[in-house]
Structure 1
Amino acid sequence: MKYFNAVFLSCIAVFTFSCQSTEETVFPKRESISESVYASGLIKAKNQYQAYANASGIVQEIFVSEGDPVKTGSPILVIENETARLNRENAELTRAFADRKAKQSRLRDLENNIENAQNKWRNDSLLFERQKRLREQGVGSAVDLEQRQLAFENSRNAYHSAKLIYQDVKREIEYNEKSAGKNLSISKALESDLVLKSEINGKVYALLKEKGEMVNAQTPLAVLGSADEFLLEMQVDEYDIVKVKLGQKIVVTMDSYRGQTFEAKVSKINPLMNEASKSFLVEGVFVNGPTVLYPNLTLEANIVIEVKEDALILPRSFIIEDSFVINVEGDTLKVKLGLKDLKKAEILEGIDEKTEVIKPTK
């Protein structure tokens, strides 16, 4: 510890000697200061997304060019897939075959069978009842009565069987009709997936495939987004993310607009950290932005965490190790700092506006 103190005092002495020789001095002064969190990022179009088609095949036709405006549902391109087309046509044939109207003749035949069976049952019932009365009067044999009873029971069973057959066939026709209809809807949906459509009202920023290229469901085909609304996507270090809040002011600079600054505000904080970069994605929207913007323009941003008016300020170049200053008498004074930015710091304790301090040189 004694060695460290000796080294530190030697450093202070060097700083003091250098400062006195240059005689660059300054008085602390009252002004506003803000503390901010630095972030880098990109400009993105609002609702910007990569478009995929839920199908495989060859790009058959492209209907738009890069930069074209599109509306929700506008076709972007179509993919050729012969299998999907054949499946749809086969489903149409199956649906037509399963159509209930086409099966009406079969149902009418079964209805006629029921009516005939019912009539025979009634007739056999009458004959059986008559034979019973004759037998009671001593006319006819027991064998004749048994035959009439057997005919009656058989016709009754035939009638009930005809009704059951009719119900089974009717249910089968209804099931086949519904199943064929659903299969046709699925086939049409799969075929409609061959046409890539816009999900938003906006602009085509990029076409990623050309006519004749083979694509699949994992292949991005286009980049679309809002035509006139943009947002900021910024990466904020995990050490700073707890300071960031919704609505905070953002001061933005871009290489495309050198020498200019623009104001934005924090609109969204994504809560999951990127483990690779150890950073969080923070989004912002412009309060007053440039007139012309394009997706993927780079930016640098300072998210303003706190602003203090009428603070006692000293340039950070006059402060040694964020803890000490040297006055014109050569004394080393300990100071306590408050808010800090890249160039200046707030003095909370140690000196006042009347303290003239010297800029140390290394």
Structure 2
Amino acid sequence: MTDLSSCTILLVDDTEANIDVLVEALGQEYDITVAMDGPSALEIVRQSPPDLILLDVMMPGMDGYEVCHILKENPETEGIPVIFLTAMTSPQDKARGFEEGAVDYMVKPFSIIEVKARVHVHLSLLMARRELALQNRMLEMEILHRTRELSETQAVIIESMAGLAETRDTDTGDHVLRARLYVEFLSLKLMDHPRFQHFFAHSPPELIGRAAILHDIGKVGVPDEILLKPGHLTAEEFETIKLHTIFSHAIFSKALSRLEKKQFLSIVDDIAYSHHEKWDGTGYPRGLRGDEIPIPARLMAIADVYDAMISARVYKPAMSHEEAAEYIISQSGKHFDPDVAAAFAEHQNVFRKIASTYGPGSSFGQTLSASAPIDWDTILEDG
């Protein structure tokens, strides 16, 4: 049984005899405060809100209805249960009392036994509501904690898998983390676009960015002599390299078949499997065309091509930002989704800044990880 001995009750009545009777009846069980008029009652509530109020209606100046109305309009006091205790007995009076927000309405002359019983009931209900609210807050905190743990675990797994790819190809590390920035930035710019709203309504940009980190994980299945070849690939070797998209899909489709909630891994699979598809249908591995290509893969296509072009490799020098941007814009509607290419063209200076700030030789890999939130205000400053 709930202990109500610590509960406080405010008695509001302009008749001293009524106050005395109620204090005697309730004072041994509860902490009692008294007010003889409406303004005094409101001031007491402001300074030290009680758990329950027994309120007379007919008082000089401000009547009980007005007091109750003021209390219920204030978010800080609207939850205090009010019981009217009055000589006004008509149905209209009672109806108004409940309309003003009272939880109960008792008439004078009152029965002490009835008053004590109703006070006990409403205080018990109040304590039960508070207990339920406390449990709900604790549950929300636990859910938040579990969600944060899950997010951190997901991030660590992403970083570990990306690290696995990096052990095979040292160019991969910085590239995949820049790819995260490029893709997340494009997502932020396109999330309100009419063609993409439906997708981003359930897939936040941060999620797409994290998924982009694993776009080349399938390269772990490519032989070293091809993956690390210090020169141009033969046609046959290039066909082998192209298999990394198939390898990625094999990894993730098997995992997806065992999951009930698949949102993140589905996006990872879309990116890894389809980021080499082209808008005109000439890409690989499936020759998808136009809107057949998953939206995350269309974002990754631009990010991947841009970063590859501006990065030096053993078999080629780095291109300038201007050369890479010119190529991407020229391939709108051919290699790339026209709307994604347009977003790149409009905000290409941000790509330039990401590349110059977090390019080869920077401390990028030490300052940003898959689990770290991106400070876009800093990145976009002057961008």
- TM-score, normalised via structure 2 length: 0.20
Higher percent of residues as helix: 2
Structure with the larger RCO, 1 or 2 (CA within 8 Å, 6+ apart): 1
- TM-score, normalised via structure 1 length: 0.21
